Structure 1
Amino acid sequence: MIGTESPVLAVLCGDRHPPDMDHIEATAKVRYTDERGLADALRGADALFVYDFLSTAVAGAWHAADRVRWVHIASAGVDPVMFPALRDSDVVLTNSRGVFDDSIAEYVLGVIIAFAKDLARSIELQRRREWRHRESERIAGRRVLVVGTGPIGRAIARMLRAAGMSVSGMGRRARSGDEDFGEVHASADLLDHLPGYDYVVAVAPLTDQTKGLFAADAFAAMPAHARFVNVGRGELVVTADLVKALRDGRIAGAALDVFETEPLPDDNPLWTLENVLISPHMSGDFAGWRNTLVEVFAENFQRWQTGRPLRNVVDKQLGYVPSGH
């Protein structure tokens, strides 16, 4: 913390204020704001809590941040605040890594089971009161490639392994003997490895290197029976290429929780494809998650006030928290 007076904290939250802020308000001057008032709230503020983690308004108001030394975002992904002026500054950026790991892993296991057991069709037939026997798939022994080896990817790997699936990872560097993935392939070799997997799960952070990672060439490299799951960022995928791959039977299905444009426009063709499962960016949102996000920030806020090292410090050049930090 700078100086001995109560710090000034700007909180970008829109109409929904974060819960359980009383203990923070007792030791800081807190300015709650929406996007329109963000510039005014930033003037003279020492820190910024981006509670509205989907907002991209920080870049446009950053010119007013004359004293900000620390920014915390209430999500694992930091791309909404990775604009050049912040990235190139000496302002410390932290995130909420760890809050959503297990919840997102449960979602991924759930949609894999939904595909294998044809649950969407069962619900449809039930509504029509139609008795139609089918055979389903096993998930045990199926091969899964998790693209993104951070904490969420690791939680996914552990849960899918516990369900009997064979899981590998894909990260910046290839390595063997990983405690969660066993084998980790290098991202540069994505197209070489995609043919060997039944499910591909995208959970990589959004960076210049990963934007549009899943385009026509990636979907063409997958086997025709493969399913694609995206719980990372919508911009990891070229949506038009995914739609074409699904329509042409190039891949068997997709479960999508994130999209290039959110909310997903009602005229988007993904809504009408029978082999697609859509959820509205909720794979990690368990009951009580908002309180947990504030708890993570509050612990870091206390550390910041007392001069202790902050948790979840983002390497702004990489765009995520390096392993071990």
Structure 2
Amino acid sequence: MAAVEAAGTPVRYVREPDLAAALPGADVLFMWDFWSGALPAAWPASGGPRWVHIASAGVDRLLFPALVEADTVVTNSRGVFDEPIAEYVLGLVLAFAKDLPATLRLQDARRWRHRETERITGARALVVGTGPIGRAIGRRLTAAGLAVSGAGRTGRAADPDLGTVHPMERLDAALAEADYVVLAAPLTERTRDMIDAAALARMKPTARLVNVGRGQLVVEDDLIAALRAGRIAGAALDVFRDEPLPPASPLWGMPNVIVSPHMSGDATGWREDLVRVFAENLRRWTEGRPLRNVVDKDLGYVGSNRGRG
């Protein structure tokens, strides 16, 4: 946190047990541990920080009623994870198309088994979520030769990063056309459980699901049932409803599933990048300039209003 301290602002470091005592005297809260669930119980009945920043792109853990109703400004770390996640998604698409998990399993077993693989050029990818991460994914997949479309809150044609963007009301039809469905949407009441048994039934039996958004976007039991029944060809999951993924989860042992531990955006140097984003915003705060990455607390993500609030 040297970059923050260098800005000349007094900094106090606290752990969860001391959070409630520290909040009433704080102007700004930097939630470094974005996994922590301590903030709702620690939030003061009156007063409290005027600005809360979180070291993640997702803000669903911050949007508890008392904070939503307060005048407190919320900002996120938008921009840090876009390109690393896009690279990771491209790697997953290639891993499926080129059957790399099976190759590694066969190598471990010292088995020589020739197979044919798939082309990604011309394959259709649907990116659900049109924020910066979804857009970076769209650009990477387009550059690799896939035909990309998007799904988001507002439909539009000829989007520079995602081609045709389908409104969420037409998600069912868009799912039916995709070879790869990539989830990069924020977790809101509208997106929670969006991929359920009905949505999975609309996907091609040859399609793969990639989730780098939030685990709660997918009804996990429905996904397991669809994978077991061959209703879709595979899934690559970097996020889960319960993290760490419990050892007893069937997903661990399914040959058509790639499990990774919520690491798709964590490329070398990501912690330093997170601190730099906050330090820049802290300078803006102390100078009275508009903050970046201001979250619309009603929408649940960064909206068009990027002012101080």
RMSD over aligned Cα, in angstroms? Answer: 1.2
| 2:5–2:11 Cα contact (<8 Å) kept | no
Residue 79 of structure 2 corresponds to 98
Identify the residue that residue 10 of structure 1 maps to in structure 2.
none
**Paired residues for 1:284-299 under 5 Å:** 284-299=265-280
CA contact (8 A) 2:227 2:234 kept: yes
What is residue 57 of structure 1 aligned with on the other side?
38
Structure 1 CA distance, aligned partners of 2:101 and 2:165?
A: 32
> Alpha-carbon deviations, 1:275-307, whole Å to 9, x = none?
000000000001110000000000000000010
Q: Per-residue deviation at 1:189?
A: 1.6
What is the DSSP-based 3-state SS (H/G/I as helix, E as strand, rest coil) of the residue aligned with 1:214?
coil
Q: CA deviation at 1:62?
A: 0.6
Conserved in 1, the CA contact under 8 Å of 2:20 and 2:42?
yes
TM-score, normalised with respect to structure 1: 0.92
- Residue 260 of structure 2 aligns with which residue? 279
Residue identity in the other structure for 1:293 = L
Deviation of residue 22 (structure 1)?
A: 3.4
Q: Does 1:126 align with 2:128?
A: no
Within the candidate set 17, 22, 36, 2:5 is matched to 22
Q: Distance in 2 between matches of 1:77 and 1:50?
A: 12
Residue pair 2:24, 2:44 contacting (<8 A) in 1 also: no
2:17 maps to 1:36: yes
Residue number among 114, 136, 140 corresponding to 2:95 in the alignment: 114
SS of equivalent to 1:31: coil
Q: 1:142 to 1:38 in 2, by over 3 A?
A: same
Asked whether 1:79 is paired with 2:90, we answer: no
Q: Number of residues paired by the alignment?
A: 306
Q: Distance in 1 between matches of 2:68 and 2:9?
A: 26
1:8 equivalent in structure 2: none
Are residues 65 and 81 of structure 1, via their aligned partners in 2, closer, same or farther at CA, if it must alter by over 3 Å?
farther
Offset of residue 20 of structure 1? 4.3
1:175 and 2:156 aligned: yes
Identity %: 60
Q: Which residues of structure 2 form unaligned runs of 5+?
A: none
Residue 42 of structure 1 contacts residue 65 of structure 1 at CA under 8 Å; is this kept in 2?
no
Return the offset for 1:43. 2.2
Scaled by the length of structure 2, what TM-score is found?
0.96
Q: Retained in 1: the 8 A contact 2:186–2:301?
A: yes
Amino acid at match of 1:120: P
Q: 1:29, CA displacement in angstroms?
A: 2.3
CA contact (8 A) 1:99 1:293 kept: yes
Instruction: Report what 1:266 is aligned to.
Output: 247
In structure 2, what is the equivalent of residue 68 of structure 1? 49
**Residue-by-residue CA offset, 1:240-261 (whole Å, 9 max, x unaligned):** 0010010110100000000000
Structure 1's unaligned 5+ residue stretches are: 1-17
Query: Relative to structure 1, is the Cα distance of residues 37 and 117 closer, same or farther in structure 2, using a 3 angstrom cutoff?
Result: same
The 2-side partners of 1:317 and 1:21 are apart by 29
For the structure 1 residues 19 and 145, does the alpha-carbon distance in structure 2 shift closer, same or farther, using more than 3 Å as the test? farther
Is 1:227–2:218 an aligned residue pair? no
Q: Is the 8 A contact 1:20 1:291 kept in 2?
A: no
Q: 1:43, 1:64 within 8 Å by CA — same for their partners in 2?
A: no
